[in-house]
A and B are shown apart, each in its own frame.
Chain A
Amino acid sequence: MVRKIQLSHLLDKWVILIFLLMIIFGWFNVYGASYGFHQTNFWSFEYRSGKQLIWIACAFVIGGVILLLDGKYYEQLAYIFYAAVLVLLAITIVVAPNIKGSHSWLVFGPVSFQPAELAKLATALALAKYISHPGFSLSKRQDVWWVFGIILTPFVLIVLQAETGSALVFMAFFLMLYREGLPGILLLIVSILIVLFLIVLPLSEVPIYGNVGSLGFLIALSIIFLIEIGAVVAYERDWKTARYFLLGGILLFGIGLLLQMSYDVLFNQIALILVILSSLYLIFLFIYKRKRAYIWIALFAIGATVVSFSGDYFFDHVLEQHQRTRIEVVLGMKNDPQGVGYNVNQSKIAIGSGGFWGKGFLQGTQTKLKYVPEQDTDFIFCTVGEEHGFVGSLGVLLLYALLLFRLIYIAESHRDTFLRVYTYSIVSIMLFHVLINVGMVLGLTPVIGIPLPFFSYGGSSLWSFTVMLFILLRLDVSQKMRFR
């Protein structure tokens, strides 16, 4: 009795409140999205809205059970759980039937279940346990290999299930690792490379005015050159070398413009020459001054250039056709409303037609008439956008932001590494889900089939996020009890 009173007192009220709000608003949207014209019974379990009610009820039961278990079990069982999930993932590859091209669902009669959902939780717990070992440090090579191994093993297994979307979620753990000491520069470099990739791909075929080169390459190389200059200035805290670079750049482009009158000059090649010359100069500086920083900047420039140019190759030869088309659509390379872009196009129409206040509950024509595919699962945010407008959509986004901030607050309020790593893992995973899911619906990110936490229809996703959240709450309560 005492224990229960303590528990309800110590539970984080904010997280519970936001969780309830999301579950309730989420259910109304699932109801709105699956609502048909001949449907009269609000609660009938034949419909998805009715089924979702069962999943929600189950989620509460699961949440309650988790809160009643002692927090220390999660830490103790983390590795066993992780190993069990890995085995399950491996079995799934063999056993699972082919559902829409992926082998990720285990089917038990009427119930089907996706082990990949559990893998996120298991990996988060395993990482938390490993990182919370005394003496762990990301500067130790061995520790780094172990951490990468814990992340990449389930990643590979899920990729083998042909469920690339869910596998990509594991990239989110790098955000948690950043908090735990992964050099920020790695995060930055990865971001820059992704941006370069995104610029070069759609624009590489776009000619500059008068067809004097490829716009995509020119922009990408210019960015690389400017980053080089920025890095040199930041390192030397002086504009001397940078001035040479700038002068050289102006000189080269001036000559290019002059030659343009009588020869066909490709400006993206001038930019390439510029980047190569400046990198060679930096290598010369490294040999001359023996300062390592120069060689790093030069290597970055060369690496980035290679990535830019290999983007095309990678895109054409490494990616599979459906991945290519998805990326092409997001980058605006193919405008094909009836083809691959159909989903995104219809979801943009649904959201765009919602206006500021939305069309009102059950008034969305796009969702009601099934124009948006997967509208109650991956594209549930469409219903929010159409029926509740800008106000509702922004409200949902802010709700997520609030939840994540609150979780960060909880993570930082205890001195427990296990709790912190676990919480940041959950934060990273949720952020990744929201980023990709909402971005896809808004036509900003590629179409990757991952659900919107607490909103999308389906038991697996709802339960897995509920379990993640309630374990976190339980750990929080345990910490609070310990220091009472």
Chain B
Amino acid sequence: MINDKLQNRKFVIGGLIVLVVFIYAIRLLSLQVFTSSYKVLADDNAFYKRILFPSRGLIYDRYGKLLVYNRPAYDIMVTMKEISNLDTTDFCNTVGITKEWFVQRMNDIKDRHINQGYSPYTPQVFITQVLPDDYARLMEKLFHFPGFTVQRRSVRDYAYDVAAHTLGSIGEVSRTTIENDPYYKPGDYVGISGVEKSYESVLRGEKGVQILLRDSRGRIKGSYDDGKYDQQPVTGKDITLSLDVELQMLGEKLMQGKRGSIVAIEPSTGQILAMVSAPSYDPKLMVGRQRSQLFQQLNTDPERPLLDRSIMGRYPPGSTFKAANALILQQEGITTKDTRVACHGGYFVGHFKVGCHIHPSPLDLEGAIAYSCNTYFCTEFRAMLDSKKFKNIEQSFNAWRKDILTFGFGQKLGIDLPNENSGFIPTTKTYNREHGRRRWTSLNIVSDAIGQGEIIATPLQIANLCALVANRGYWITPHIVRSIEDGNIDPRYLVKHVPPIDKWYYNNVVEGMRQSVIYGTSRIASFGDSIVVCGKTGTSQNPPHKDHSIFMGFAPMNHPKIAIMCIVENSGFGATYAAPIASLMMEFYLTRKISPARQGLETTMENTFLIPNYGSKNSIVAPAR
């Protein structure tokens, strides 16, 4: 070699080669072994997960009649790259849209800010849930419009136009729900009210997924590994409600044109037999694309048809509350069956007056319930509050309050429907705030004796009180779902709640309610001779508006099958509307018919419209598109 020194440079060049391999090996290590995110990115690239939607569970009534089922609806899809020679005018006319809407919609689809998953190669939703007529027209001409396809999806349909509040509806999942539950993806349908919401996890089933291969241009290249990793969707479970749909239909018919509510419970089980909130709407209309528009219309309606009055309505329970007080007063040893109080047209203390209507005097406990004597309950309630048993009025009031809460008042009962209201039972704080600390006496709060004043209850709570009396000593949390396919209902709907009232005290209240139907305020509630009905009217004062007509009752007297509560807002005495409506309901439930003698009453009730210019719910029609 000429220059041996230069020969050593082969080591430098060799070292350079080693250095390159070394650096690249480290880079490979960090990319392939120490970073896992690339695998996810590659899968996100390659695998298009097509969601397979399960069909939603069906809903039946207590006798197995199908209430809610699924029907196909059609979304028009558009694949931008496949559009060619589109006759826009013809297309718009066929689908029933304006050209401006068409242009706007196409721009929205292409805007990745609005439509994040946009690809010109995959179908994008153009219109959701076209009407059957439009669909039929489009199908005839679809071949004229390359790029447009139709995708089937299923929406809810209803066999009966009743129980809209209870059944609830489904709608597109909200952003917050998506954030809280990764199961949901934008565009999914989810129960948003009623049973659809509270039993969402049962009804929805489980989505399946089909893993497809997608190339760099978004084109589908077939299924991955022959569908080995695909998951079939799991159909939602069917549920059976405790609702008797025919009873419900009768209830809604009787309540049409009125504001108010009916809640009927099977006392021995706590199952709800009927649940009417009036005014109502046709659940069939709350489906599909007109839903949001109709929802707006109903939401701004002054009669508030969307409000489920049976669980959200806040009413003074009025005289029905006397049944609850009768139980407590007996238990506290203030009142006995034979305690008699004289009544001369009202309860008078100085200038203070609680009116009462004309009835025989003096009355014992049963008579006082039968005639709904205000004087009796005011006197006895004050006797309890001022009793020497208690140190002061706060203590006595708290004792009363503790008992009343065990009946289910002043708290959410825990029905399996969303948005239940808790009602209100005042506390000592309420009165301290109102009158000053310890500056109130039994006279200040005497309205509580007759279910007025600060006391607020929901129809459900009053119906529950009725069930408690009918059961003579216990209540089971009212619930609407009777059974779930392949599953059990929540065990808390099997628990008996037993208030601290001795059993025999109930008999006196029951007897009083029986007397009420025989000769007292609830005479109109009587039907037939074979079935022994018990009842209690109420007239809940609602100044400055007209009183609410309230009635609660159960039948038969022994082994009751139905406990019912009815309220008709601003309609007057309990006996005027609530008692006849409730009794017709009881009659129908127990005999499956209305006796000819009472069909006139049924017609009268049905055709009484208390809300001016407000017909039956069916008068609300779908808004024009």
Contact = CB atoms under 8 A, between A and B. Distances in A.
B43 interface: yes
Nearest to B215: A369
Interface string A401-432: 10011001001100100000000100100010
Contacts of A444: 23-24, 27
Interface string B12-40: 11101110110111011101110101110
A408 B216 contact: no
Contact of A397 (B21, B32, B43): B21
Contacts of B3: 181
Scoring A352, A394, A398, A438 by chain B CB atoms within 10 A of each residue's CB, the highest score goes to A352
Contacts of B32: 351-352, 354-356, 385, 389-390, 393
Scoring B28, B39, B217 by chain A CB atoms within 10 A of each residue's CB, the highest score goes to B28
B9 A178 contact: yes
Contacts of A386: 42
A350 B13 contact: no
Contacts of A365: 42-43, 45-47, 213
A300 interface: no
Interface in A156-188: 175, 178-181, 184
B221 interface: yes
Nearest to A369: B215
Given A181-B6, A397-B24, A349 B17 contact: no
A383 B46 CA distance: 15
A348 interface: yes
Given A181-B6, A184-B12, A415-B1, A353 B39 contact: yes
A405 B28 contact: no
B20 A435 contact: yes
A371 interface: yes
A90 interface: no
B7 interface: yes
Interface residues of B, number: 40
Contacts of B9: 178-179, 184
A442 B27 contact: yes
Nearest to A389: B32
Contacts of A397: 21, 24-25, 28
B28 A393 contact: yes
B33 A356 contact: yes
B503 interface: no
A369 B46 contact: yes
B10 interface: yes
Contacts of A385: 28, 31-32
A370 interface: yes
A49 interface: no
A355 B33 contact: yes
B216 A353 contact: no
Interface residues of A, number: 48
Contacts of B597: none
A351 B213 contact: no
Given A37-B221, A353-B38, A369 B213 contact: yes
A404 B20 CA distance: 12
Contacts of B45: 346, 349, 365-366, 369, 371
A351 B17 contact: no
B222 interface: yes
B266 to A, nearest CB: 59
B18 A401 contact: yes
A50 interface: no
B624 interface: no
Scoring B16, B17, B216 by chain A CB atoms within 10 A of each residue's CB, the highest score goes to B17
A370 B41 CA distance: 15
B215 A179 contact: no
Contacts of A398: 21
A37 B226 CA distance: 13
B49 to A, nearest CB: 14
A178 B46 contact: no
B24 A442 contact: yes
A256 interface: no
Nearest to B225: A363
Nearest to B7: A412
Q: Specify the main secondary structure of chain B where it touches its partner.
A: helix
A442 B43 CA distance: 19
Contacts of B10: 179, 408, 411-412
Given A180-B6, A369-B214, A370-B216, A352 B21 contact: no
A449 interface: no
B16 A431 contact: yes
Interface in B212-255: 213-217, 221-222
Nearest to B46: A365
A385 B28 CA distance: 8
A434 B45 CA distance: 28
A352 B38 contact: yes
A366 B39 CA distance: 10
B432 to A, nearest CB: 59
Interface string B447-475: 00000000000000000000000000000
Given A178-B9, A352-B32, A405-B14, A438 B24 contact: yes
A355 B39 contact: yes
A71 interface: no
A458 interface: no
Given A179-B6, A405-B17, A366 B46 contact: yes
Given A175-B13, A349-B41, A371 B216 contact: yes
Contact of B21 (A349, A350, A389, A401): A401
Contacts of B7: 412
B217 to A, nearest CB: 8
B33 A390 contact: yes
A366 B31 contact: no
A316 to B, nearest CB: 29
Contacts of A400: 21
Contacts of B222: 37
A78 B46 CA distance: 51
A390 B42 contact: no
A434 B20 CA distance: 9
Interface in A14-39: 37
A186 B33 CA distance: 38
Nearest to A373: B216
A389 B42 CA distance: 14
A388 B43 CA distance: 17
Contacts of A393: 28, 32
Scoring A184, A348, A371, A415 by chain B CB atoms within 10 A of each residue's CB, the highest score goes to A371
B28 A442 contact: yes
Contacts of A353: 38-39, 41-43
Contacts of A370: 215-217
Given A352-B31, A354-B32, A369-B215, A408 B13 contact: yes
Contacts of B1: 415
A442 B35 CA distance: 13
A431 B17 contact: yes
Interface string A334-374: 00000000000010111111111000000001101111000
Interface of B: 1, 3, 6-7, 9-10, 12-14, 16-18, 20-21, 23-25, 27-29, 31-33, 35, 37-39, 41-43, 45-47, 213-217, 221-222
Given A184-B9, A351-B38, A356-B33, 8 more contacts: A181-B6, A349-B38, A365-B47, A397-B21, A405-B17, A408-B14, A424-B13, A427-B13
Interface of A: 37, 175, 178-181, 184, 346, 348-356, 365-366, 368-371, 385-386, 389-390, 393-394, 397-398, 400-401, 404-405, 408, 411-412, 415, 424, 427, 431, 434-435, 438-439, 442, 444
27 contacts: A175-B16, A178-B9, A179-B6, A179-B13, A184-B9, A346-B216, A349-B38, A352-B35, A352-B42, A353-B42, A355-B39, A356-B32, A365-B43, A365-B46, A369-B214, A369-B215, A370-B215, A370-B216, A386-B42, A394-B25, A397-B21, A397-B25, A401-B21, A405-B17, A424-B13, A431-B17, A431-B20
Q: Which 7 A-B pairs have the closest CB atoms?
A: A352-B38, A353-B42, A365-B46, A369-B215, A352-B31, A390-B32, A353-B39
